[in-house]
Structure formats: C-alpha cells, structure tokens
Structure 1
Amino acid sequence: MKIVGVAACTVGIAHTYIAQEKLENAGKKAGHDIQIETQGTIGIENALTQNQVDEADIVILASDVKIAGRERFEGKRIIQVTTEIAVKSPNKLIQKAAEVVSQQK
C-alpha cells in the first residue's frame, strides 16, 4: 500500500517532526511505502510530488492547523487526525489506513 501524508502542528516544531517520524516508521514496519510531508515553521519539507499523491492509496493528514495545498488530495481517501494521535498511536493509525483501503477495493 502507498501512503502519503502531511504533518503540521500549531507551533510547527516538535509535534510536526515527531508525527512524521512515527508515521514513517510505523508504515515501513508494516511493509508500506510511506512519505510524509512536514509543514512547520521553516516551511514545507519533504514536499510530496503530484506523482506520489496520484499513486497513493490513502492520505493521512496529521494536523492541528490548516495545511497548505490540501486541494492536491481531492478525490483521494483521507484520514484526518491530530498530531497527538499520530504521535501516540502511529501503528493503530497505519492499521486503520490499511483497513480503509481494503474495504474500498
């Protein structure tokens, strides 16, 4: 399964990057291809390409603020959670994403 997403917290520092790391580690551990873009105080890092978005089976938005470029994900299956959930329960979130994708195939 291919997963893309965005992590963005209100301050744009700690939770943004912790959520990215936790989600990417959980996704890879579960055998998925995962890329998480961060939108923090220093701008957008690890920016997703349109090709990555197009090929993704699901999008995870772990954000506490409005994210830039949300329109890129129009028409995609989206799971939106707070960064706190991504930090505290990344494995459950990845499992939920897999369930959503398998139900809609």
Structure 2
Amino acid sequence: MARIVAVTACPSGVAHTYMAAEALESAAKAKGWEVKVETQGSIGLENELTSAEIAAADIVILTKDIGIKFEERFTGKTIVRVNISDAVKRAEAIMNKIDAHLAQTA
C-alpha cells in the first residue's frame, strides 16, 4: 500500500486549492492508499503535514502554480509536480502514473 502526502495551493488560494485536495484524496483512497493533503489557501496552512507523515510517504505531490511554503521539508523524497487544474480534473490519471512508477521501483 502506498503512502501519499500532498500540498495543494493555487494563486487565488480559494476554490481550486480545496477542489484539488478533495480530488487527490478520493483518487488515492480509491486505490486503497493512505493519503493526507495539506492545503495552503487564503486562510493559511490547514491539515499541516507532520515530519513523521512526510518521512513515511512514498510519494509527495506538490501543485506547481504557485510556490509551496516550506518546500524544503520534502528534500530527498520522490516529488510529483502537477498543475492545480490537473489535480482537480485528472487526479485518477495522476494516481495511475504514480502506481506505474511505484511498480517499477518495487
């Protein structure tokens, strides 16, 4: 079972930040994976990832439309960068690519 952590943020910090978080969570859970998504929206950091959660993660997903705060936390981890719109509309495809990557490295 894969462990995924993600951080979503969009330039306006409102709807897409949360829509992307929900889409990524649903797609990962559909594969039976553990997932936690931190949002960096207009009201600040929510559902903040702990150092233990980051350390245990197999993959880190970061949106790339705006800078992610405290990105140095993920140094040394396998990072997948996605557009916020892809996270909203193509979360299942993102998880399928991650699944293929994990199968190759297993």
TM-score by length of 2: 0.95
How far has the Cα of 1:98 moved from its partner?
A: 1.7
How far has the Cα of 1:73 moved from its partner?
A: 0.5
1:77-88 equivalence runs, <5 A: 77-88=78-89
* Coordinate RMSD, CA, aligned: 0.8
Letter in 2 for 1:90: A
Q: Deviations over 1:46-90 (max 9, x none)?
A: 000000000000001123100101001100000001110001100
Partners of 1:6 and 1:63 within 8 A in 2: no
Unaligned stretches of 5+ residues in structure 2 = none
Letter in 2 for 1:7: T
Identity %: 45
CA distance in 1, matches of 2:15, 2:87: 13
Unaligned stretches of 5+ residues in structure 1 = none
Aligned to 1:27: 28
Q: What is the count of residue pairs matched by the alignment?
A: 105
TM-score by length of 1: 0.96
